[in-house]
Structure 1
Amino acid sequence: MTTDPWGRVDDDGTVYVRTSEGERVVGSWQAGAPEEALAFFRRKYDALVTEVELLEKRLSTTDLSAGQALSSIDKLRTAVRDAAAVGDLDALMRRLDALTERAEQRKVEQKQAQEQARTEARDIKERIVAEAERVAEETTHWKSGGERMRQLIDEWKAAPRADRGTEQALWKRMSAARNAFSKRRKAYFAGLDQQREQVREVKEEIVAEAEALSGSTEWGPTSGRYRELMQRWKASGRADRASEDRLWARFKAAQDTFFQARNAVFAERDAELRVNAEAKEKILEEAKAELPGIADPREARARLREYQEAWEEAGPLPRDSRDRLEGAFRKIEEEVRRAEDKEWRRTNPEARARAQATVDQLRGSLEELQGRLDKARAAGDDRRVREAEEAMQARRSWLEEAEKALDEMS
């Protein structure tokens, strides 16, 4: 009988392995020497050792999942327990027990990491859903809102998955937000289309009236009406682009037709009125030269009336010189009026009496203040001296102005 520390070969060729539970048969050997039998079954043991070492290395150096590790350990445990091999099978079992503990610890760690990852995934998707709901409820910038909603859907797809129940509940909210946004946008544009159609109808009416007025020769009233139509056009809003461009082209064509005809008539009329402008230029020059030299306002007023009559008889002015000539003549009329007002104030008895009363009052006030000043100086009261001098200075200034006004009335 041939033996080694972990097994033996009986005389009949039966091969045994020794374990903590006793000996068990692992095979028989009839083909050669007993030492060869033990060597053969030791090689089978070495193969098991290699598998255990490989699993130990994988568990230490890779992210092998706990479930895969435990499954591999169970398979190896069965292989070691039933192994047809000679070696320290109890030591291999102890190593597998140690691997089991490590795998169980990894299982706990992986479960915690998985829970944390699901929590983080839930938080990420909660944020995505919350923003999608905000976009759906608040945004009125439909283009940027639609782009943001698409980005949020992409972010959702790229985000890690939470647990199934949370994932389904959040996706239900996400889908509802997307549908709500689509409904609001659709309703907005439907309302906008309706509004644009209403604007188009209003502008059709404006254009129809503009075209009806294009042949009018009532230049003043029609020009005013075109201004009103333009204000209505601007205030009515915008129709769709195609209708807007088409209607504006018709409106402008009608307006241009009227104003071109009016301008042609006015140009012809202005040419006829050049002679009136020349006559009024002459009247203006004569009035400027004569009226400022008339000292008597009543005489100046009488002479002005003659110029006014001549001005009216000269007839209307062309548009390009109307404002300038009319403005210059109004200045002459204003100068004559101011001279009349000044003369009236100068000769008004009531005004002269009031001016004289003001002068007398100020002179009396100065005499009274002079008395106060003399008393203050005699008493050596510097404060009262200063107050009296300041009051007298003010009264003298007022008296000077009052005397000047009185002199102008003399």
Structure 2
Amino acid sequence: MREAAGERAVGQYPDATPEEALAYFERKYVELNGQVTLLEQRAKGGAPAADIAKTVANLTATVATANAVGNLAALAERLAALGGAVTELTEQQGAEAQAAAGAAIAERAAIVEEAERLAAEDPAKTQWKQASAALDELFTKWQDHQHDAPRIPKGEANELWKRFRAARTTIEQNRKAFFADLDSAHKDVRNRKQQLIEKAEALAPKGADGIPAYRGLLEDWKNAGRSGKKQDDAMWAKFKAAGDVLYGAKGEIDAQDNEEFAGNLTTKLELLTEAEALLTETDRTRARETLTSIQRRWDAIGKVPRDQVKVVDERLRKVEAAMRKLDDDHWKRNNPETKARAEGLAGQLNDAIAKLEAELVTAQESKDAQAIAEATEALETRKAWLKAIGQ
């Protein structure tokens, strides 16, 4: 090879023609040229600057002593140019790496802050099922971020991990304390309800007479709180069964009473037919005497079946209300003060009517249409008023 410093032997190729020997060493040059070209492409593609620099150094040493025939000086110049580009690439990639690390720190810090927010919640108001699921999701995000995101400085990574771990520990401690308190409260509720069950079951010998006491226990049960759905349902079944015993005894008594009182119902229904006939009665004295007789007989008959008490009582109350209205109307008509005012007003209206009738005659004689209309309207109004006061 001819170089700037002179000729340099690059090797021997025995048992071949000069052309074959030269072609061999030219292929060596082509291989080196290909390596330099590939390195240039990698540098343009943004390959890690450290890898480029290392390869440039290796190829530079190789080209300097290469046993190849070709423009090795040009290859050396291209490698030198790549060396300068490596510095620029290193700066660029350093800035990009720094920006990526800053973004990664911000993303990981957001995960930590969300965990710390969960840790700061009031344990008594926290929905623990949702909170536990949220914490698990945050931990998964943390692991994925460690695996997939750009690396961040070890010191900052350790500090963020300490904060995340502290928040997770706080959440777990709060959760355990909450459920420990809840278990204690549930235990107290179960004890209270068990005592109520025993009291309710002790009422069984009293039968229907035990119902008032059972209702008091029922109020205590409502105020006792809850102890978990499964336990509450089982305990309620026992408490209710004790009540069913009492109400069952009462049901038997009611059934006997209903059978006994069935005849009373028939008699009272007959009385109601007699009483409801008074709804059209206008003679107040006769209506009052009849109703009084009905009421005495009603009371003497006695009880009716429980499910009919309200029905028959409401029908009798309707008749009694009608009789009270009949009395009230009579009093209003015969009240001396009201009567005197009505008679005075009636006299004034009669005078006004006589005057208006005279004015109407005069208007008709003069054929004054407006006067006729005014007199007619005023006359009809006064007559309506007189009728309203019953005169």
Match of 2:166 in 1: 176
Which shifted more, 310-319 or 240-249?
240-249
Number of residues of Structure 1 aligned to a counterpart in Structure 2: 372
Match of 2:55 in 1: 72
Q: 2:36, 2:79 within 8 Å by CA — same for their partners in 1?
A: no
1:105, distance to aligned residue in structure 2 (A): 2.9
Write the distance in 2 (CA, Å) between the matches of 1:183 and 1:55. 61
Write the distance in 2 (CA, Å) between the matches of 1:263 and 1:143. 46
Is 1:334 aligned with 2:321? yes
1:166, distance to aligned residue in structure 2 (A): 2.7
Match of 1:14 in 2: none
Is 1:261 aligned with 2:249? yes
SS of residue in 1 equivalent to 2:389 = helix
Write the distance in 2 (CA, Å) between the matches of 1:128 and 1:393. 89
Write the distance in 1 (CA, Å) between the matches of 2:335 and 2:47. 119
Code of the residue aligned with 1:163 in structure 2: it is I
Write the distance in 2 (CA, Å) between the matches of 1:204 and 1:402. 78
SS of residue in 2 equivalent to 1:243 = helix
Correspondence for 2:157 among 164, 167, 171 = 167
SS of residue in 2 equivalent to 1:317 = coil
Distance 1:176 1:307, change over 3 A: same
- RMSD over aligned CA atoms reads 3.9
Is 1:304 aligned with 2:291? yes
Is 1:195 aligned with 2:154? no
Aligned residues with identical type, % of pairs: 29
Match of 1:120 in 2: 103
1:310, distance to aligned residue in structure 2 (A): 0.9
> Where do 1:9-408 residues align within 5 Å?
18-19=3-4, 22-23=5-6, 47=28, 50-61=31-42, 64-83=47-66, 88-138=71-121, 140-159=126-145, 160-164=149-153, 165-217=155-207, 219=209, 222-289=210-277, 291-292=278-279, 295-359=282-346, 397=381, 400-401=384-385, 403-407=387-391
Q: 2:112, 2:164 within 8 Å by CA — same for their partners in 1?
A: yes
Q: 2:60, 2:76 within 8 Å by CA — same for their partners in 1?
A: yes
Q: 1:42, 1:85 within 8 Å by CA — same for their partners in 2?
A: no
Cα offsets for 1:331-352 (capped at 9, x unmatched): 2222222111111111111111
Q: 2:208, 2:247 within 8 Å by CA — same for their partners in 1?
A: no
1:177, distance to aligned residue in structure 2 (A): 2.5
Which shifted more, 116-125 or 306-315?
116-125
SS of residue in 1 equivalent to 2:183 = helix
Distance 1:91 1:218, change over 3 A: closer
Write the distance in 1 (CA, Å) between the matches of 2:163 and 2:203. 59
SS of residue in 2 equivalent to 1:239 = coil
Cα offsets for 1:80-108 (capped at 9, x unmatched): 34556676543332121012123333322
Write the distance in 2 (CA, Å) between the matches of 1:356 and 1:396. 19
1:394, distance to aligned residue in structure 2 (A): 8.8
SS of residue in 1 equivalent to 2:303 = coil
1:311, distance to aligned residue in structure 2 (A): 0.9
1:173, distance to aligned residue in structure 2 (A): 2.4
Q: 2:208, 2:249 within 8 Å by CA — same for their partners in 1?
A: no
Q: 1:270, 1:319 within 8 Å by CA — same for their partners in 2?
A: yes
Write the distance in 1 (CA, Å) between the matches of 2:177 and 2:342. 80
1:49, distance to aligned residue in structure 2 (A): 5.7
Cα offsets for 1:137-174 (capped at 9, x unmatched): 34822222222221222222222044223322222222
Q: 1:297, 1:336 within 8 Å by CA — same for their partners in 2?
A: yes
Write the distance in 1 (CA, Å) between the matches of 2:270 and 2:340. 45
Write the distance in 1 (CA, Å) between the matches of 2:312 and 2:10. 137
1:70, distance to aligned residue in structure 2 (A): 0.8
Which shifted more, 74-83 or 347-356?
74-83
Cα offsets for 1:224-255 (capped at 9, x unmatched): 44344334433433212343133112111111
Code of the residue aligned with 1:304 in structure 2: it is L
Distance 1:114 1:131, change over 3 A: same
| TM-score normalised according to structure 2 size | 0.79
Cα offsets for 1:9-66 (capped at 9, x unmatched): xxxxxxxxx33xx34876898x999x97x99799668636623531431440565321
Distance 1:327 1:78, change over 3 A: same
Code of the residue aligned with 2:257 in structure 1: it is R
1:132, distance to aligned residue in structure 2 (A): 2.7
Write the distance in 2 (CA, Å) between the matches of 1:137 and 1:194. 24
Cα offsets for 1:120-150 (capped at 9, x unmatched): 2223223322333333334822222222221
| TM-score normalised according to structure 1 size | 0.76
Distance 1:85 1:322, change over 3 A: closer
